[in-house]
Amino acid sequence: MSKSTKAVLITSILLFVFSVSSFVLMGYQVNRQGEELGEYIAVLEAEKAQEDAFFRLQKIAEDTKEDRGLLQDYFLASDSDSIDFLNLVEEIAPESGVSLKTEGLDKSLENGVGWITINFSFSGSRDRVEQFLKILETLPYVLRVDNYEMTSTGSSNWQAKVNMRVQVLDYDK
């Protein structure tokens, strides 16, 4: 082999090794960047799913605003709303023909649910006392009549004592 052939052969081998090394390095870089791209795509898909979920929840919140408002009216929103409840009951009593006295008001917690316990006594004719009890039972609140006692205090006069609880809906827990 002549010197020039040897030089060309060594140069060719060096160029071949350099080219193979360059292709291997480029293949490694493409593979690594492809994996990074896959991770970025996964993160973007997760963010897109969260964004879609947020918009769906926002739409549900907007669509159910009126229904939630109606439903919230069945609960006392806080302990201080018990005054509004008492005012409602005290307003209904004379219209129903009974005299009402609020005997007690207490706050309690049962299984993580807040309740306002209220004791009423009212008197009137038997029909009016029974009718007022029905009104109390059907007030538009989540409530329980725990105890009811009705006694005759005269020929046409009856007195009733009611122990009832109204649920407090507290969002700040």
Q: What is the pLDDT of residues 148-159, one digit of tens each?
A: 899 988 778 899
Q: Could you report the per-residue pLDDT of 113-158, keeping only the tens digit for each?
A: 788 888 999 999 989 999 999 998 888 878 888 888 999 887 788 9
CB 115 within 8 A of CB 81: no
Query: What is the phi/psi pair of residue 25, to 5°?
Result: -65, -45
Tell me the per-residue pLDDT of 13-22, one tens digit each, with 9 for 90 and over.
999 999 999 9
Phi, psi for residue 160 in degrees, rounded to 5: -130, 145
Q: Assign residue 168 a region: left if phi > 0, alpha if psi is -120 to 50, beta otherwise?
A: beta
